[in-house]
A and B are shown apart, each in its own frame.
Chain A
């Protein structure tokens, strides 16, 4: 490359972007696929709650897909994928040895400082970032998790999680408690200093928000949104908050539970 052409490319390597991350392990759980990728540039800086933008390999896909970090172990980044559309179907079908490009870690993280009792509340694919959070909290806090799934097929995702005190509910009663995650919360005894971490569809976030208000607990919510850029430019993923319309990709995905308006 000539000096001039090198100058055109002066930006290479100055971004949190990693090309050709190899898929090192794949585990499938019903509608969900747990991927493990070799991504040292991501794992070196990641914190629970953050996400990555993942290219969909094979051509034909323009936009990257946002996926929460499901686990971080050494240089391995774990992602949990639910096949919802053509792009996520392709990602869910990845095999060991295939490669994808990642940008990240992106977005805000769950605050964990000083937390001694944590209650993790997840719904469906929204449970994904809570595993990484549980791993991080496990050294200094009592962690209880309550996850809700739609049906038996979705509930097989529970097998992807390794959290010591994990309560599962399914709406069809096929696994765990017959009902929603809110039914589980009603039966748990949460000490007053419990910090609640919620991730899932808007209806779940709203229900958890009302519940914490009644119980006098504080907490955080990680929100889902359709994204184009994932890096703050397009304003495609904004949500209403008490601070105005904010970008899930940039100011979020983690917000204080009392500032979101699901």
Chain B
């Protein structure tokens, strides 16, 4: 083990494909609403944005009203949610861009849909808008994250559970943009590397993983499913060991592909573990629900964890869990 470093000897900058990030932490889609934070912050939140890039809540071609209540509840060492991709649709979403145009970080737009056409329609609409949008009326949109944990209209299976469907979605979006394109993989498969490989072969520049685990919680009085949607996605510390294993498997199967690792990151050490398993960037999700200061705390902890181990930057720790 190398000698510890001073905190300011650690440089947190990372290159996620073509994106240059000030540090490895990004928010997990759907867990961090920039406008809600901005209105509660005593200062310029767009300047002080704590994540290195912003991944907004998934947007789809048409407006969606989402799932019936209840949509969330706590589980042992985690939580379950079934929001149902509630969003205003891409046209209304684009109308809202000027409100957060002052954000100084790169934005990775999370895209959802139920067919390749629906995903491509979102990317196409946004590319067309960015082409003509006057200076200062839109944030720095530098990439897309394809949320393939949506049911496929053709068959009903999660798109991400079907490598061919995943590849079709990636290819359809690849045809619409030259920006950084990431596929967000579902963990609800027996071998996550199959869809990972299919996505990269179809033109994805990187991968993010994992999305939530399909799960169920019962009402303790009635013994019926608690969530309005019956099932939901499990996240939080309970899933971290499985997520680490999956990130490591993909890192080993597809060396050199930029990865955003996530699943139950609550601390800087958790983030460092994802980096050790091969992730370049790390998504923070449920931790955002524990307090406004979670991202800046986790970042400070990550710096301290790197320094304590003598790593001058995240790249030096990347993948060290993958060796013999």
* Residue contact A62 to B8, C-beta cutoff 8 Å: no
Q: What secondary structure prevails in chain A residues at the interface with B?
A: loop
Q: How far is the CA of A9 from the CA of B231 in the complex (A)?
A: 37
Any chain B CB within 8 A of the CB of A171? no
Any chain A CB within 8 A of the CB of B265? no
Q: Known contacts A8-B296, A62-B289; is A231 also within 8 Å of B50 by CB? A: no
Q: How far is the CA of A7 from the CA of B237 in the complex (A)?
A: 27
Partner pick for B71 among A10, A55, A60, A226, CB 8 A cutoff: A226
* Residue contact A233 to B32, C-beta cutoff 8 Å: yes
Any chain B CB within 8 A of the CB of A17? yes
* Residue contact B7 to A236, C-beta cutoff 8 Å: no
Q: Known contacts A11-B48, A11-B50, A14-B43; is A234 also within 8 Å of B81 by CB? A: yes
The residue among B10, B37, B300 with the most chain A CB atoms within 10 A of its own CB is B300
Q: How far is the CA of A126 from the CA of B10 in the complex (A)?
A: 51
Partner pick for A5 among B8, B71, B72, B73, CB 8 A cutoff: B8
- The stretch of A145-153, A158-166, A183-191, A237-245 in contact with B is A237-245
- The stretch of B62-70, B194-202, B246-254, B316-324 in contact with A is B62-70
Residues in A neighbouring B297, C-beta threshold 8 A: 9
**Size category of the binding interface on chain A:** 35 or more
Q: How far is the CA of A169 from the CA of B297 in the complex (A)?
A: 48
Residues in A neighbouring B292, C-beta threshold 8 A: 11, 15, 17, 103, 231
* Residue contact A62 to B300, C-beta cutoff 8 Å: no
Any chain A CB within 8 A of the CB of B83? yes
The total of chain B residues at the interface (CB under 8 A) is 49
Any chain B CB within 8 A of the CB of A203? no
The residue among A4, A12, A17 with the most chain B CB atoms within 10 A of its own CB is A4
* Residue contact A101 to B291, C-beta cutoff 8 Å: yes
CB contact list, B43-100 vs A, under 8 A: 43, 48, 50, 57, 65-66, 69-74, 76-79, 81, 83, 86
Residues in A neighbouring B43, C-beta threshold 8 A: 14
Any chain B CB within 8 A of the CB of A113? no
* Residue contact A233 to B289, C-beta cutoff 8 Å: yes
* Residue contact A63 to B74, C-beta cutoff 8 Å: yes
Residues in B neighbouring A103, C-beta threshold 8 A: 291-292
28 contacts between A and B (CB under 8 A): A4-B303, A5-B304, A8-B300, A12-B296, A14-B41, A15-B41, A15-B292, A15-B293, A16-B40, A64-B289, A101-B291, A103-B291, A103-B292, A226-B70, A228-B72, A228-B79, A228-B81, A229-B288, A232-B35, A232-B36, A233-B30, A233-B31, A233-B37, A234-B72, A234-B83, A235-B30, A238-B86, A250-B36
The 10 nearest A-B residue pairs measured at CB: A232-B36, A236-B72, A4-B8, A15-B292, A228-B72, A233-B33, A5-B7, A229-B289, A8-B300, A226-B70
